[in-house]
Amino acid sequence: MSNPTVEKIIKEINAYTPEAMSEHVGIVTAVGDGVVAIDGLSKAVMSEVILFDEGKGKSLAKSMEAEGELFGVILNLEEDGVRAAILGDTARVAEGMTVKSTGRVLSVPSGEELLGRVVNALGEPIDGKGPFKKTTLMPVERQASGVIDRKSVSVPVQTGIKAIDAMIPIGRGQRELIIGDRATGKTTIAIDTIISQRFEPPATRPICIYVAIGQKQSKTARIVEQLKGAGALEYTIVVDAPASAPAALQYLAPFSGASIGEYFMDRGKDVIVIYDDLSKQAVAYRQLSLLLRRPPGREAYPGDIFYLHSRLLERAACLSEEKGGGSLTALPIIETQDGDVSGYIPTNVISITDGQIFLVAELFNKGIRPAIDVGISVSRVGSAAQKKAMKVVAGGLKLELAQFRELEAFMQFAQDLDKATADRIASGQRMVEVLKQKNGAPIRVEMQVAILYAAGQKFFADVPVANVTKVEAQLSEFLDGQYSKTLAEIKKTGVLLDELKKELNRAGEEFRLAHPELFSQKS
Amino acid sequence: MTMPESYARALLKVVADGQTPKKAVAALRDTLVRSGRERLLPKIARALSRIAARHERKDRVVLTVAREKDATRALKDLAETLSRMGVAAKDVEVDEDEHVVGGWRLEGKERLVDASYKKFLLDMYNRTTNTV
């Protein structure tokens, strides 16, 4: 007989030695909304994975039709049994079903093979590119690194966004919250940050993990396409727990993302994990907790909602050299309602993170994008990691913009302004234009330094406000073509030496001579 | 745990501690009447029956075979397992289910020992087709 399948079956039958293993089991007594109550399993442990035995009472043919195994995870240990969340299709679970203990806590596969792939909250591939061959299982719940194992943040994460890299710098290993109303550009900042990593040398390029929680699948598909188009998918892993996924998977997805990231961090690599967004995870956890009959607290969230986010974000770390020197940067996203940052979940996450980038709908609607409110956006540890060249050019930027915002309100009522105030307003208006940036177009750090240096030197002072963005783009092109060596030197040294400043000044003058029409008028 | 369930458990404990069921129920009834909660009585009765069913299910040991005649051999094979579980062969309930194809499946006291042909065939199918 030559059929390989038949041969395989014959081999299996010949190798069969009847052995009956005794398994620890329980019985499903109630099921609903993704949560099951189970009698028995008295030796089970928290977060243990359980397997639903769907075959009982079914014919062999019916059992063979099942779409893979159905797992659950234990979330409550009670007097007479346990309560667990179903990690899959709830409709497949029925009362009276036998549930087997697996003896292992919930883990997800991680490894180099995951790069460029889209997985679900359990680490299973969902992009149709086939199963993983060689992966390492990482526990979903893991104790965060201790104080001794950590070191201070010292290397920057270049987001490629001028406003952030200059005024709210992020360090590798930091936790920086991105917060704002819906449709204010939160995800855009996260995606631009991922795309921007392509400017980093491959050896030190951070691995990016984008965790989509409760998002529309069409949005995630669009993001994957965008990353692919920008050549960023090769160093990115997408963990997707869409809005249609059970609450349990939406609750687990950020932890899975952190676990996948920790694999790389433990091996000395830098990782950026984006949790988009934790408000939806909190809602999923609230649903799960209520179904598990845990006592509700404020806004019906369970009492451990703070711990949910703190234990997740504490896993962000910059490890010491003894521990391999890897890092995990967390960029959680929180959606506010009507700009209210004093909500329960926003205040919790603000207090856990090392700073926040606050996005405002009003600025967004005015066309100021990224719509960052620099007044209340802050990075508590990132300045230690900022490149010296950037520090030099961005030193007074935040203050200048804050003063401009104050004067801007005043400007609408005042008719006659003194020269100093008028100059400050004009300068502020141009600076706002300089900091505007298109989405999906991150800028290399050396170019950012050059542009901000030019802005600081009042290069745009006699450019009409409406043309600043255009002139800036042309200047970038000019610098790229004519002064690439200067830019390379800024990148290499990370310092803006006097000689480099002179070269940038010269570049500005040459550009001005080449394009006098851009500088002729004022407005 | 709901309130009727708590009362049902308390009732069972009192009976287990030596009080007669009649006295215990009477005392419970008096207490409920005094606190204006006599409407809980039917719910407590239902909770009691649920607890009893749960206990019964816990103690139940079921041997599933494809044909009745397989049971004798299965019980012989299972002698050691049953003694480890603290169950006498006569207390094992035999259930006939042609879906197990052959062999046997023993379930009870939070343990499952599956030596059915169905399990073997299913495992083999999954391994061969790599569906799992």
B82-102 pLDDT, tens digit per residue, is: 998 888 988 999 999 989 888
Q: How far apart are CA A93 and CA A56, in angstroms?
A: 12
Report the candidate in A182, A164, A188, A158 with the shortest Cα–Cα distance to residue A378.
A164
Enumerate the domain spans of chain A: 23-105, 116-143+151-386, 392-518
Does B128 contact A at CB distance below 8 Å?
yes
Say which residue the tokens 């079956």 belong to. A9
Q: Which fold has domain A392-518?
A: Lysin (1.20.150)
The answer to whether the Cβ–Cβ distance between B103 and A9 falls below 8 Å is no
Does A14 contact B at CB distance below 8 Å?
no
pLDDT given at position A521:
53
CA A298 to centroid of chain Cα atoms: 27
Query: DSSP assignment, residue A301?
Result: -
Among A374-388, A404-418, B14-28, whose mean pLDDT is lowest? Answer: A404-418
In chain A, pLDDT over 90 holds for what percent of residues?
Answer: 80
Cβ proximity of A250 and A284 under 8 Å: yes
pLDDT given at position A87:
92
Shortest Cα distance from A286 to chain B (angstroms)?
19
pLDDT given at position A252:
97
pLDDT given at position A3:
76
Shortest Cα distance from A24 to chain B (angstroms)?
5
Among A91-100, A178-187, A259-268, A328-337, whose mean pLDDT is lowest? Answer: A91-100
pLDDT given at position A274:
98
Enumerate the domain spans of chain B: 3-58, 60-129
Catalytic residue (one of A150, A380, A405, A512): A380
Report, in this order, helix, strand and coil percent for chain B, each rounded to 5: 65, 15, 20
Cβ proximity of B48 and B8 under 8 Å: yes
Residue A185's Cβ-count burial label (10 Å; 0-12, 13-18, 19+) is buried
Contact partners, residue B130, CB within 8 Å, separation at least 6: none
Does A348 contact B at CB distance below 8 Å?
no
Q: How far apart are CA A453 and CA A394, in angstroms?
A: 8
Q: How far apart are CA A116 and CA A295, in angstroms?
A: 41
Alpha-carbon torsion angle B27, B32, B38, B44, nearest 10: -70
Query: DSSP assignment, residue A87?
Result: S
The pairing of strands A22-32 and A98-105 is: antiparallel
The answer to whether the Cβ–Cβ distance between B111 and A64 falls below 8 Å is no
Q: Which 431-450 residues of chain A touch chain B by CB within 8 A?
A: none
Picking from A5, A20, A58, the nearest residue to B128 by CB comes out as A5
pLDDT given at position A2:
60
Does A15 contact B at CB distance below 8 Å?
no
Q: Which residues of A touch B131 (CB under 8 A)?
A: 68
Does B119 contact A at CB distance below 8 Å?
yes
Q: How far apart are CA B82 and CA B87, in angstroms?
A: 5
pLDDT given at position A396:
85
Does A42 contact B at CB distance below 8 Å?
yes
Band of pLDDT at residue A523, cut at 50, 70 and 90: very low
Say which residue the tokens 């290993």 belong to. A173
The answer to whether the Cβ–Cβ distance between A20 and B114 falls below 8 Å is yes
Average of per-residue pLDDT across A89-107:
92
Picking from A8, A60, A80, the nearest residue to B128 by CB comes out as A8
The answer to whether the Cβ–Cβ distance between A18 and B54 falls below 8 Å is no
Computed over every residue of chain B, the mean pLDDT equals 88
Average of per-residue pLDDT across A441-469:
94
Q: Is A458 helix (H, G, I), strand (E, B) or coil?
A: coil
pLDDT given at position B132:
42
Contact partners, residue A276, CB within 8 Å, separation at least 6: A186, A187, A190, A210, A211, A212, A213, A215, A333
Residue A274 structure tokens: 């984006």
Band of pLDDT at residue A54, cut at 50, 70 and 90: confident
Residue A14's Cβ-count burial label (10 Å; 0-12, 13-18, 19+) is exposed
CATH architecture of A23-105: Beta Barrel (2.40)
Does A65 contact B at CB distance below 8 Å?
no
Does A58 contact B at CB distance below 8 Å?
yes
Q: Which residues of A touch B112 (CB under 8 A)?
A: 22-25, 53, 98, 100
Say which residue the tokens 């690194």 belong to. A145
- Whether the predicted pLDDT of B131 surpasses 50: no
The answer to whether the Cβ–Cβ distance between B125 and A64 falls below 8 Å is yes
The model's pTM is: 0.89
Picking from B1, B57, B111, the nearest residue to A22 by CB comes out as B111
The CA–CA distances, whole Å, from A53 to A36, A91, B69 equal 14, 14, 26
Chain A with chain B: Cβ pairs closer than 8 A:
70
A380 tagged catalytic: yes
pLDDT given at position B48:
92
Say which residue the tokens 């491959």 belong to. A202
pLDDT given at position A468:
94
Q: How far apart are CA A518 and CA A112, in angstroms?
A: 49
Contact partners, residue A86, CB within 8 Å, separation at least 6: A31, A34, A35, A36, A52, A70, A72, A93, A246, A248
* Domain boundaries A116-143+151-386, corresponding CATH code: 3.40.50.300
- Whether the predicted pLDDT of A1 surpasses 70: no
Q: In chain A, what is the greatest distance between 2 CA atoms, to the nearest angstrom?
A: 99
The pairing of strands B93-96 and B61-65 is: parallel
pLDDT given at position A60:
85
Angle formed by the axes of helices A498-514 and A445-456, nearest 10°: 70
The ipTM estimated for the assembled molecules is 0.80
Q: Which residues of B touch A23 (CB under 8 A)?
A: 111-114
Among A406-410, B74-78, B82-86, whose mean pLDDT is lowest? Answer: A406-410
